[in-house]
Structure 1
Amino acid sequence: MNRLADSRILTRGAQEVLKADDLTRLKFVRRRPFILHGAAKDIHLRLEEALEDFPTEGDAHILIVGDSGMGKSKLVKRFAALHGCPEDGSASAARIPVLYVSFAITASPKGFLGRILERLNAPYSSNASSEVLYPLVLRLLRRIGLKMLIVDEVHHVFSGAKDRRLEALAVLKLLGNDLGITIVACGIDTALRAIQIDPQMVRRFDPIPLNRWTVNDQSAGFLNSLEAHLPLAHASNLSEERILTWILTEAEGLTGEIVGIVRRAAVEAIKTQRERIDLQTLRSLDWIRLSARTKASEAALKIGSPR
C-alpha cells in the first residue's frame, strides 16, 4: 500500500491555513472537500466521453448505483457545475449542456417535468398535464443546447404505482430519443430494479457500481488524498494499515462516513494539540456506526408512534 511519509505534500490551501491560528484551521477542516478518487475519476471520464458522443440514438444511457453516503450526488452535481449548470438551483435558459435534476419522492411524469422547468426557472401552470408540459420541456431543453440530463434519486420511481412508474420511465426514454442526449440516472440499489421494470430501459442503461470501500490500495490512496487537505503539523499516515482498517470498519465503507470520521479526528487533533490523527485520537471520538445510529432512530420512532 502507498504510505504518506513525514514529507507528505499538502494541498495549497492546507499549506496556507497551516500557518494560521487554530480557529482558522478548525473552520478549514470542517469544510467538505471533494476528493476525485480513483472510482470517481473513472465515472467522471465516462461522463466526459458520453458528453462528447452527443448526439446519440437515445440508447446509450448510464446508471450510477451505490449505497446512500457513497458520494454519488456530490460527484454528478460537480460534473454538472463544471459544465455550466449552477449549483444553487438558479439555472436560466442560457447554454447549459449538462443539467442536474432529481426525482421527487413521489415520482410521476408531471412532477418530474415540473422539476425540470423549476430548475430552469421557467414558468408553467401547476394545473397543466404531463402531455402539455412535455413539449414545453422539450423546446426549452433544445433551446439551452442540452447534451446530458443527470437524474438523481431515480429509485423514487419505486414509490409510485406500477403504471406511474412506467409513465415516469417513459418520459426519460422519450427525452433521450427526442433530444439525442445521454441520460445519467443515479440512485441506490433499487434504482437498478426501477429501470428493470421496463425491458427497453434495461438495454439502454449501462450500470456503473460505486462500491463501498475495502482495505486495498484504492482506499489507501483516498485516505492519502484526504490527509493532504488537513492542516496538521505532523503526518498522520492515514493509509497505514491499522489506521486504514479502523476507519473503514467504523465508517462501514461509506465515503461520507470516512470523511466525517477524518474531519472529526482532525478537529480533535487540533484541539488537543496532538497535531496528528492516530489510533488514540480515533478511539477517543466515541464514533457510532451509521447502522447503529439508524437502529437507534428506528427504535425511537417506534417508541414515539401512537398505539
Structure 2
Amino acid sequence: MDHLRPEARRIAEKPAIERLDCFATDRWIGYSRAQDALKRMDMLLATQPGRVRPQNMLVVGPSNNGKSTIAEKFQRQHPRRSSEERDRHIFPVLSVQMMPDVTAPRFYAQLLDALGSPLGNIRKTDRRNALTLNLMRACGVRLLVIDELHNLLCGPSSRQREILGLIRYLGNELRIPIVALGTKDAWLALRLDDQLENRFQPFLLSMWGDDAETGRLLASFETVIPLRGRSGLGLPALRKVIVERSEGLIGEMHQLLSSAAAHALTEGRERIEREDLLGCPFQAPSYRRQMMERELRA
C-alpha cells in the first residue's frame, strides 16, 4: 500500500465494510492550478492591505469545479485567532457567501454574523454600516472573500449596482483586497461597475481534459482513496473514462471515484477498474439535467 498517503493507508487496513463510509469524505487535493490560486491570494493578503486602491481577484470557473474548496482551504490557512492584547478575536480573512436575494442590510448582517456579532435591535443601514466597519477594523480583517458572487444577478439591476457599490466602498474604506469566486456570470456582474471590473484580476479554473495534467490530478486522488491495490487512475485508459463521465469537473470526479471505489469493494476488488467507473451508481451532470427535463415535460 505504498501508493497511499499515511492516513489513507491506516483506513485501508480496516475491513471493507468499515471503509464504505470513508469514500465520500471531502479531501484536499493540491493540484497545480489550486496551488497557484492560493499563492495569488496569499500575495494579496501580504501586499495589498493598506493601499489606497487595493487589487482584487476573481476566481472564475464552472459550477462544481473547485472554487469553494479553494476558498475554504485559504480560510483554514488563515484561521481566526485570539488576541493576546485584548479580549477579542482576530480575523485575517473574513468569508461570506453572496445570497441570491441580497440587499445592503442583509449583506451587512452577513458580515456581522461572520464576525460573531449579534445584530440586536440595529435596523438602520447606516448604523449597520458603521458597526460593520468598526468591527472589521477592530478584528484586523485584512482580506474579504465573497463566494458565489454570481448570485448577485438574481436581483434587480438597481440592487446589483447597489451591492457592487457597497463592495467597492468596503474595499476603499478598509483598504483591504477582496477575493470573489463564481461562475462566468460573476464576471458579468462585475462589468456593471467599471471601477470594480478594473480592480479584479480574473483567475480561470477551466474544465479538465484528457491530458497529462488531469493524469497527475487523478494520480493524486488515488493516494487518498483507501484501496489496497493500485488502480492507475491517471493512466490513459481510465483517465479517458473518468473525464468523459465527470464531464471535466473536479467535483464530479470526486463523486465518481468515491462511487466507483465503493462499487469495487462491494465486488471484492481492492482497486478501481473500468467496470467500476461504468457500473457504479453515478450520474453525469448532463444526464441529471436530461432526466429532470423529461420529468418536467411529462
With normalisation by structure 1, the TM-score equals 0.90
The alignment covers a number of residue pairs equal to 292
Counterparts of 1:87-98 in structure 2, within 5 Å, are: 94-98=89-93
Contact 1:58–1:173 (8 Å) recurs in 2:
no
Gap runs ≥5 in structure 1? 1-6, 87-91
Corresponding position: 1:269 with 2:252: no
Corresponding position: 1:259 with 2:254: yes
1:13 is aligned to 7
**Tell me, what secondary structure is at the counterpart of 2:90?**
coil
Cα drift, residue 27 of structure 1: 2.5
Structure 2 Cα separation of the partners of residues 168 and 93 of structure 1: 29
Residues 127 and 162 (structure 1 numbering): CA distance in 2 closer, same or farther, change over 3 Å? farther
1:51 is aligned to 45
Residues 98 and 249 (structure 1 numbering): CA distance in 2 closer, same or farther, change over 3 Å? same
Corresponding position: 1:165 with 2:183: no
Structure 2 Cα separation of the partners of residues 131 and 279 of structure 1: 60
Cα drift, residue 302 of structure 1: 5.0
Corresponding position: 1:155 with 2:146: no
Cα drift, residue 296 of structure 1: 1.9
**Tell me, what secondary structure is at the counterpart of 1:214?**
coil
**Tell me, what secondary structure is at the counterpart of 1:118?**
helix
2:193 is aligned to 198
Letter in 2 for 1:42: D
2:84 is aligned to none
**Tell me, what secondary structure is at the counterpart of 1:135?**
helix
Letter in 1 for 2:38: H
Corresponding position: 1:242 with 2:234: no
Letter in 1 for 2:16: D
Corresponding position: 1:40 with 2:25: no
1:290 is aligned to 285
**Tell me, what secondary structure is at the counterpart of 2:34?**
helix
Cα drift, residue 127 of structure 1: 6.3
Structure 1 Cα separation of the partners of residues 63 and 17 of structure 2: 32
Summarize deviations over 1:91-129 as a string: whole Å, max 9, x none.
Answer: x95101001101111122221111111222212257623
Letter in 1 for 2:211: N
Contact 2:68–2:147 (8 Å) recurs in 1:
yes
Contact 1:266–1:277 (8 Å) recurs in 2:
yes
Letter in 1 for 2:36: D
Residues 47 and 271 (structure 1 numbering): CA distance in 2 closer, same or farther, change over 3 Å? same
Structure 2 Cα separation of the partners of residues 271 and 57 of structure 1: 59
Counterparts of 1:97-116 in structure 2, within 5 Å, are: 97-116=92-111
Letter in 2 for 1:41: Q
Contact 1:59–1:205 (8 Å) recurs in 2:
no
Contact 2:102–2:155 (8 Å) recurs in 1:
yes
**Tell me, what secondary structure is at the counterpart of 1:186?**
strand
Cα drift, residue 56 of structure 1: 2.6
1:144 is aligned to 139
Identity of aligned residues (%): 28
Residues 197 and 141 (structure 1 numbering): CA distance in 2 closer, same or farther, change over 3 Å? same
The equivalent position to 2:24 in structure 1, one of 24, 27, 30, is 30
Structure 1 Cα separation of the partners of residues 51 and 214 of structure 2: 35
Counterparts of 1:118-137 in structure 2, within 5 Å, are: 118-125=113-120, 128-137=123-132
**Tell me, what secondary structure is at the counterpart of 2:196?**
helix
Structure 1 Cα separation of the partners of residues 231 and 157 of structure 2: 52
Contact 2:259–2:281 (8 Å) recurs in 1:
no
Structure 2 Cα separation of the partners of residues 57 and 36 of structure 1: 33
Structure 2 Cα separation of the partners of residues 302 and 141 of structure 1: 50
Summarize deviations over 1:269-304 as a string: whole Å, max 9, x none.
Answer: 11111111111221212532111202322443455x
Could you say what the CA RMSD is over the residues aligned between the two structures, in angstroms?
1.8
1:221 is aligned to 216
The equivalent position to 2:71 in structure 1, one of 76, 81, 84, is 76
Contact 2:122–2:128 (8 Å) recurs in 1:
no
Structure 2 Cα separation of the partners of residues 140 and 219 of structure 1: 43
Residues 127 and 94 (structure 1 numbering): CA distance in 2 closer, same or farther, change over 3 Å? closer
Contact 1:8–1:235 (8 Å) recurs in 2:
no
Letter in 2 for 1:100: S
Contact 1:93–1:120 (8 Å) recurs in 2:
no
With normalisation by structure 2, the TM-score equals 0.93
